[in-house]
Amino acid sequence: MKFGVVTFPGSNCDEDMIHVLEGLGQPVVRLWHKDHDLQGVDMVVLPGGFSFGDYLRSGAIARFSPIMQEVAAHAKKGGLVLGVCNGFQVLCEAGLVPGALLHNEGQKFISKNVHIRPATRKTLLTSAVPDKALTIPIAHGEGRYHADAATLKALQEGDQVLFRYCDADGKIHDGANPNGSKENIAGVCNKGRNVFGMMPHPERACDPRLGNTDGRSLFDSLLSAVLA
């Protein structure tokens, strides 16, 4: 499976993502935000960071980068797209997934391990992820997922919520919500189920040397589902 990882000015998790994907034996190409060619990749990854310094709103400038025209066209044809943290913000700004990411409750940047659990089995990214609390790091100042009541209802009815924040026992409640996200939502997908956005960083939880490999289950799920 050929991956393309996009670098915007201010991206800082692109090499982390490349390290993980290449460690799983997958071919990866580095894509620059001004590129107009996705080089035949199967999946585009928009990594975490602070694209264009997070001026205006996080992802608000990056969504106008030339490569996003190609990403949108790729998604429209059914191509796979994953946005993590800042990448999720870019996807929301570009309208490729529903909702928006607002400043965290408390207006503070949060960097810590949190727990999430899959909310659906009906996506490539989650189909084989264990139904339990996964320990995955977050690092964001604007990670509070927001959508109006109609959108939240549509997400629920369409089974488009990927992950919800939970406690260590897998229970979903307000106390386990690190940033005030509506309905504890940590990630969503589009109606076509080929564009995925999430705030937690699975690529930061894939190396045994870091003491946590819970994030690898997402990539294993994706690869096994695609191969199947």
Strand residues in the chain grouped as ranges (E)? 3-7, 28-32, 43-46, 80-84, 100-102, 110-118, 134-140, 144-146, 161-166, 185-189, 195-198
Q: Which of 70, 93, 142, 203 is catalytic?
A: 203
What gap in Å lies between CA 25 and CA 61, rounded to an integer?
A: 33
Q: Which is catalytic among the residues 13, 74, 85, 115?
A: 85
As beta bridge partners, residue 194 has none
Whether 85 is a known active-site residue: answer yes
> Would residue 55 be called left, alpha or beta, if left means φ above 0 and alpha means ψ between -120 and 50 degrees?
beta
Cα–Cα distance list, 199 to 2, 23, 86, 177, 207 (Å): 23, 22, 8, 12, 19
Q: Are 48 and 139 in contact (CB under 8 A)?
A: yes
Told to judge if 189 belongs to the known catalytic residues of this protein, a careful annotator would answer no
Out of 74, 115, 140, 201, pick the active-site residue: 201
Angle at 223 between CA 46 and CA 18, to 5 degrees: 40
Contact 140, 210 (CB under 8 A): no
The residue among 187, 186, 183 whose CA lies nearest residue 196 is: 187
Mind telling me the catalytic residues? 85, 201, 203
